[in-house]
Structure formats: structure tokens, C-alpha cells
Amino acid sequence: MTVAEDTAVSLAGHRVTAARRAVLEAMRATPGPFTVEDLCAALPGVGRATVFRTVKLLQEHDVLCRVVLEDGGVRYQLSTGGHHHHLVCSRCGGVQEFADPALDLLIQQNARAAAFALDGHSLELYGRCAACG
């Protein structure tokens, strides 16, 4: 992960694309949930603004999951794709995904019952994973 800003700039119009690719590769190389700070540390040659923009973009395209921890902290991890929820382990920090269409239907019904125009939802369950007991 050593795409220097100079090298990127010399690629003229492809500057952002090259940097984005570097950010994506840093994500692939990072096991488990990471912070934007972790990414910045792994990408000394890429500007913070670019890292933040790329994170936002990948999140909007469902490539990246944003996981809110119990203490309000935020972690990211590459998504397996599709709508899902998270099981967040407070001991090892691991984040597992689960999908449940029946649960989503209930959420939609609750929103409708409250005459609430639902745009989306995210769900994080906090506790300890099977390995941490």
C-alpha cells in the first residue's frame, strides 16, 4: 500500500481512481472491522480526504458496512452484499452478519403503523460471539 500522492498526481485525470483503488486494497488487506484511522495509517501516501470520500462512496454502493459499536464508535468492514444486520462482539470486536426477511417485514410494518415514511434501517446486536462466550 505505497501509492505515493506524487505518483497519483502524475496520473492526471486518473488520480482519484488510483487512490480509490489503493484504499480498496488496504481494506481487503485489513482483517476484521477497521476505523478510517486504521486505513489512513495503512495508506500514508493517500490524503485523508480521499480516504474519507472513498469510504463514503463504497458505503453508498453497499460495498462497505458501517457498524456502530455499543459505545458509539464506528467501524467499517467489507460487505458480503445485500441487506443484513450485525452481531457485534464486545470482547473480540468481531462483527458477524445475519439477514432475516421476516424481521425486515416486521420493521416495515411497525413504521407503517406509525405512519412513518421509512427510508431504511440498520440493526446492531451487542454481546459476545460464540468463540468469546
- Which residues sit at the interface with Zn ion, rule CB under 5 A? 65, 79, 89, 91-92, 94, 97, 104, 129, 132
Alpha-helix residue ranges (DSSP H) falling in the chain? 5-10, 15-29, 36-42, 48-60, 101-113
**41 vs 125, beta carbon nearer Zn ion:** 125
Smallest gap from Cβ 9 to Zn ion, in A, equals: 34
**11 vs 106, beta carbon nearer Zn ion:** 106
Residues in the chain: 133
3-state secondary structure (DSSP) of residue 76: strand
**6 vs 119, beta carbon nearer Zn ion:** 119
**41 vs 92, beta carbon nearer Zn ion:** 92
Distance CA(20)–CA(35), nearest Å, equals: 16
Smallest gap from Cβ 130 to Zn ion, in A, equals: 8
Q: Are 31 and 75 in contact (CB under 8 A)?
A: no
Smallest gap from Cβ 31 to Zn ion, in A, equals: 14
